[in-house]
Structure 1
Amino acid sequence: MGDQQQKIDALRAAMTNIQERDPDAPVPDFLVVDTSVPAVTEDGEPDSSPEAPHTAPADPGSAASSAATLGSAATADSTEMAEDAGGDESAEDSRGAGDDQGPEDEEDSASGAHSELSPAEQYEKARAVVLRRLTGSPKSRHQLAVALQEKEFSAEIITRVLDRMEEVHLVNDSEFAQTWVKGRHELKNLGKSALRRELREKGITDAVAAEALEQITPEDEGDAARELVQRKLQGKNVPTGPSPEERAERDKITRRLVSMLARRGHAPGVAFQIVREEIDDHSNA
């Protein structure tokens, strides 16, 4: 066993000398020691103590360089982690109350801070707001101007953008009024008075509104009012007897229907006449 141990020690010493002279030099195969074979002590028993792995002598310059590299990496990592944390927090804050907003609302909500933009950039941003608003449904010039004012665009930018939109026929108050009157009259059975009031709220001038309302004739208004009353009377039991209780109930129904027509923009006199005629027809049916 002593000879075997001496040979092993000699081989290890030779390998160490070679690596110290030239760490990159290849080690001959006959000098490679199988470290899986346990070392043998002088008494012939296997050495159970763990053997420290062989390392080349440390170069002070290399160690300092490695320490500096590790320090820089640690600093970079900590900085990156801090930026990531801050970014996540900012993203979370920006989502906050805007989670339930659609794409359009979320984009439009970014108002203010236009002074940091050039006039050209302000113009393009205002133009984008207008185009998004026009995507859903037609809008009057006044409606779009109010929307831009709420986004804190300057009066000059608002005028420039809306003038351009009128030039390319994307904004036209006359066409808007015509479409609005036709749709609201057909779908809601509104009379001229209610339609004129709605157009005024949209910023439509009285002259443009009057022109749009010409498409509704007195017969159209009467038919719309009559359709409303018939719809309300459908399935309703209207008393027809001469007793005071039945007359009071019939008068009550009449007043309610006349008030309903007045709220829809129909003249009170015409509304009362139509209600009485429809109640009589309903009672005799």
Structure 2
Amino acid sequence: MTQRGGGRRGKRSDAHRDAAPLGPAEQYVKAKDTCLRLLTMRPHTRAELHQALVRKEISEEVADSVLGRLDEVGLVDDAAFAEVWVRSRHTHQGLGRRALAVELRRKGVDDEVAAEAVAAVDEDAEESRARELVRKKLRSMGAVDETAKIRRLVGALARKGYSQGLAFRVVREELRRVGEDAAELDDAVSD
């Protein structure tokens, strides 16, 4: 099956590559359309949208103008994005506060805004979610020796962004709850 223009889908044609650069008015329309298309898929941070515009070779002035306008009308709100992101990733992915803060930073959310959003996950909620993760993992471990169980469970919580102290304490308590000794963790956890 041949395609119009002789090129493969997704490739820029020679005519596109050699076309004159877009003027500010055309760039504005292109930038606005790009942002609105991205925002219909899912919420994005201002930094994510800015990166998309840079990839589309939109000038800084036009990008700032479009993003400023989207801010004004409430379509770009990093604080609201961070709040929804934290709630979703904590609930559905089981991420701890540290991992959530790192993800928000990668998405370009200001540290202060990220800290405020992450603070919505209180210590009790974080501990409760860590327990759920450990219980789920314990059910699938079978007859693994105590040292391996501890290593795997603490490692799983660490990868999800839970602090070492919380991970050790939760693993010890959950192992004891199912009738296992967990004596190896007694020195690591101080009550």
* Aligned residue number for residue 134 of structure 1: 39
Task: Report the Cα distance in structure 2 between the residues aligned to 1:220 and 1:167, rounded to whole angstroms.
Answer: 34
Q: Equivalent residue of 2:4, what SS?
A: helix
Tell me, which stretches of 5 or more residues in structure 2 are unaligned? Answer: 181-191
Answer yes or no: is 1:255 the counterpart of 2:160: no
Q: Equivalent residue of 1:152, what SS?
A: coil
Q: Does structure 1 conserve the Cα–Cα contact (< 8 Å) formed by 2:141 and 2:149?
A: no
Q: Deviations over 1:123-167 (max 9, x none)?
A: 011100000000110000000000111111111111011001000
Q: Deviations over 1:152-198 (max 9, x none)?
A: 11111110110010001000001001110011000011110000000
Q: Does structure 2 conserve the Cα–Cα contact (< 8 Å) formed by 1:177 and 1:204?
A: yes
Q: Does structure 2 conserve the Cα–Cα contact (< 8 Å) formed by 1:112 and 1:151?
A: no
Q: Which has the higher contact order (CA 8 A, sep 6+)?
A: 2
Corresponding residue pairs, total: 176
Q: Does structure 2 conserve the Cα–Cα contact (< 8 Å) formed by 1:181 and 1:212?
A: yes
Q: Deviations over 1:209-252 (max 9, x none)?
A: 1111121110000001000001101143346xxxxxxxxx2111
Runs (4+) of structure 1 exceeding 2 A deviation are: 111-118, 235-239
* Aligned residue number for residue 188 of structure 2: none
Normalised by the size of structure 2, how large is the TM-score? 0.85
Task: Report the Cα distance in structure 1 between the residues aligned to 2:46 and 2:103, rounded to whole angstroms.
Answer: 15
Answer yes or no: is 1:273 the counterpart of 2:169: yes
Normalised by the size of structure 1, how large is the TM-score? 0.58
Answer yes or no: is 1:91 the counterpart of 2:4: yes
Task: Report the Cα distance in structure 1 between the residues aligned to 2:164 and 2:105, rounded to whole angstroms.
Answer: 21
Task: Report the Cα distance in structure 2 between the residues aligned to 1:153 and 1:171, rounded to whole angstroms.
Answer: 18
Answer yes or no: is 1:224 the counterpart of 2:129: yes
Task: Report the Cα distance in structure 2 between the residues aligned to 1:116 and 1:150, rounded to whole angstroms.
Answer: 14
Q: Equivalent residue of 1:203, what SS?
A: coil
Q: Percent identity?
A: 42
- Aligned residue identity for 2:96: G
Change (3 A) 1:221 1:278: same
Change (3 A) 1:155 1:281: same
Q: Deviations over 1:4-44 (max 9, x none)?
A: xxxxxxxxxxxxxxxxxxxxxxxxxxxxxxxxxxxxxxxxx
